[in-house]
Amino acid sequence: MTRYFIKVRNGEACDHPIIEANFDAAFPDVDKDNLPEGFMDFVRVEQPDFHVYQKNIRCEYQLVDGVMTDVWLSDEMDGSEKLALQDERKAAWAVNGFASWAFNADSCLHEPPVAYPDDGLRYFWDEETLSWVEVPSA
């Protein structure tokens, strides 16, 4: 597992995390198991999956339970922003999509009337027959 460190001042991150190899190169005399004041271990947290109606996705470095870490934040779209996004997606679908697919407001996506087969094969949608047709193997 990769270890990270970060400079801190008054309990606040004052720089970006440093990967262990770079920390070693920059501070060869620092005992990483007994960090001096001004340095802390840092825990990386991967960006979670955000919902389509979340915006301003950002990451802040925060002290959580005594450890400096990534904290992922977002804002929720208001009603008019949600409607604008839905209208944009519907307009694009009207030009390039299939008439039989229905719009799902929760996911802000169009969905086929028949679920994509879950058998590991590849398919394309046939609007004329309203079905999935297996892609012929090459």
pLDDT (tens digit, 9 = 90+) per residue, 56-78?
A: 999 999 999 989 999 999 999 99
Residue 108, sorted as left (phi over 0), alpha (psi -120 to 50) or beta, turns out to be left
pTM of the model: 0.78
Nearest alpha carbon to residue 43 among 17, 23, 24, 20: 17
pLDDT band at 104 (very low <50, low <70, confident <90, very high): very high
Residue spans of alpha helices (H) in the chain: 20-26, 79-96
- Average pLDDT of the segment spanning 93-97: 96
Listed in sequence order, the residues at least 6 apart from 54 whose beta carbon sits closer than 8 Å to its beta carbon are 74, 75, 76, 77
